Structure 1
């Protein structure tokens, strides 16, 4: 900052000089030394990007949970209004958490849920406050960062106002729990034309390196001949997210949670 200020002052001085120029060279400042630092974790970098410029630059905090969102969410937050009087599941980031009291002295909390495209402003009162307020309280988390949440709710008529609808939260839990809780396993499709001995060695290395408790289903397919055989492993159980991550590293995109 000092170097930039000095440069600007010298530029202004040069413009006001009869002869102009040369002022910057008159006062040489050494380049600032930047200490070696460990790179921020991705979540910390994204948080700081949002703080500084108001939006995310290098990614989105929900990117790590796209598999869960695609598999278990009914819709994005911008589509909730299309499901009047129906239960839906959504996911998003929790922000703008504000704890307050009503005129009668009862505690409540207002907050926002934000996904890729939209956001909802919500509030929790009475029983809902007791059930969920601790989950969205930043003070309960490291660096006061509330994790992304998976929310089951209903877009229904507002109490005592039949013309207005609101999103009523029924259940809420951290999104990182969802795959382990809801997934029975993974179904992966392998193209018979690409299966070689080296490929299968890498595939089995991935399977053995992702030991877990969930089922592994494999579909062997030959798309041109419209042939497919469904199988499942009796021997191996896997951890779904890590297995899918390794499959994508092998450029196998045809994976889904089951």
Structure 2
């Protein structure tokens, strides 16, 4: 695995390097935002995952993530930050971050989340087939979803701008319509971890996913208070 760790605190990088060595991962370190972009641009298709601090010199983490997403819409990104607010998480997820870890963090926790994102990314790649672009995983009267093209449609209109995790979340919910999923279940199914998860991650992704759905039609993701979320297009009218 080839990892880009963007972190201005060298003591954090040095601490994590011991854990990365145990995993036998090839890790490149960048200590400011501009250096991060230069490293990524040098081999944009070679990276398996990026850990990205928000508070960086020269160019902050949100700007770096935005630039990276223009070059690669699918490379997994984990935000690392001392900030701990829902608004910061939403901003990070809105520009394409896949996960969010608040400092101080346990190295074991970070490694577990990195492994989960890498597994999910490899699984998505392996299920793609150039010969099956017209096959839909989910197809109802109003809604269609295709894992190969990573596209979803509501009443024939493309739901635009879905990040990798938003698409995975929509796929998980829509494949079992009207089934209620708890936040813990969604962390396990979409993020591929349970014990290390933060339920606010699910809520932030649902919020952004709903906003994108509402740009093309009625809301498909329903809240079941005290339990979780479900997909339900049974009341959608053309």
TM-score by length of 1: 0.21
Higher relative contact order (CA 8 A, sep 6+): 2
The structure that has the greater radius of gyration is 1
TM-score by length of 2: 0.22
